[in-house]
Copies of this chain bind each other. A is one copy, B any other.
Amino acid sequence: MQRSFIREILEAISPQTLSLAGGLPDESLFPLQALSHCAQKVLSQPHSLQYSISQGLPVLREKIAQHYSELGFPTNVDEILITTGAQQALDLLSKALASSGLIVESPAYLGAIGAFKSNQIPLVEIEMEEDGIELESLRAKLPKHRLAYLMSDFQNPTSRRYSLSKRQEIARLIESSEAILIEDGAYNELYFKERFPSISSLIPHRSFHVGTFSKILSPSLRVGFIRASKENLAKILPYKESMDLHTSGITQGIVNAFWEEYDFKAHKEKIRHAYALKAKALAQALQTHCPSFSFKEPEGGMFIYGSFAKGVDARALAFDSLKQGAVFVPGGEFYLQRRQSPEARLNFTHLDPRSLDLGVQIIAQTLRAQTKQ
């Protein structure tokens, strides 16, 4: 198996590199003191350190279920399974539902592709449009493949959001073809203006909805979750057990204590506000220093996705920029068959606005130097 460009680059870049490559949250937004207090609370109870049940801490599952219900997606504690990050949820689902083939977006999230490939699932690509996956191909391919992996909110890498009408149409297609939807909601809390209902909420018995605390609390917790009918969860639970017995009770406990003792809603508001400003800053930097880069301002998430002028090899540009001290991920990496492409994904959450501007300047200079050759 090949390693992903992103993981390789995360390990290769120096602390001085201005990285617009990863999908790292802003470290200044981690609620350090609160989490430290929560850890003390958890670690005052011996049973927190003991083995616990594979489905996850009931108190935390309760809260996640309540959160879904408040969003108009009625859910109870038996319909939640805690996973070791959303990444494990994807590994688990592909392993347990191993099928004749799984439909993925093109381009798609590399971590998901990695999980599916490591389970040797045959993958079928369908093109991403501005408002979500292309419907005609989905209609044609669903009956045969029966399993589709979609990221409806601020898709990684394109940052696009599925339109309401496309969500409804996809729900109808899934239902009528008796297929199963794996909906990745990793970024669904990071909307800048309004929230859209998940596709899963329209087809609760034919869907697995994946969520995580990585983007809104801390990725280091490795706490994610799956929402599905009790019957569907029963199919995947034995696999979770064989993967790591259960997710860390300490980090689950920390999330639970944070939710009990602090204002999680206000915390999420704060992150959304900060990220909206950072998205603006990156957009501004791109328009100023690199006007040939075409993109649409995102409505949420962590990335700006767009394209340099036709003919630019974004992969070569990324490596050359890295030597100059700034890096991003070339869009060609996000296709099943890696390709030469002028597309690029730039992260705006990790750096401060000044560094974002500086990073874009370096990339733009490198591009100009390449063009002159």
Contact = CB atoms under 8 A, between A and B. Distances in A.
Interface string A109-123: 001001101110000
Contacts of A251: 248, 250-251
Interface in A233-250: 237-239, 241-250
Contact of A241 (B7, B30, B49): B7
Contacts of A71: none
A9 to B, nearest CB: 12
Contact of A220 (B52, B119, B221): B52
Contact of A237 (B3, B221, B237): B3
A198 interface: no
Contacts of A85: 244-245
Contacts of A337: none
A11 interface: yes
A254 interface: yes
Interface string A48-60: 1111111000000
A12 to B, nearest CB: 11
Copies in the assembly, this chain: 2
A220 B111 contact: no
A220 B49 contact: yes
Contacts of A115: 242-243
Contact of A36 (B24, B43, B242, B243): B43
B49 A218 contact: yes
B22 A51 contact: yes
Contacts of A44: 32, 36
A39 B2 CA distance: 35
Contacts of A153: none
Nearest to A27: B46
Contacts of A27: 46-47, 49-50
A95 interface: yes
Interface of A: 1-4, 7, 10-11, 22-25, 27-28, 30, 32, 35-36, 39-40, 43-44, 46-54, 84-85, 87-88, 91, 95-96, 111, 114-115, 117-119, 214, 218-222, 237-239, 241-251, 254
19 contacts: A1-B96, A1-B239, A1-B242, A4-B241, A23-B51, A24-B50, A30-B50, A36-B40, A36-B44, A49-B219, A50-B218, A52-B220, A84-B84, A85-B245, A87-B243, A95-B119, A114-B238, A117-B242, A118-B238
Across chains A and B, which 7 residue pairs bring their CB atoms closest together, nearest first? Answer: A220-B249, A39-B39, A49-B218, A36-B43, A114-B242, A1-B238, A27-B46
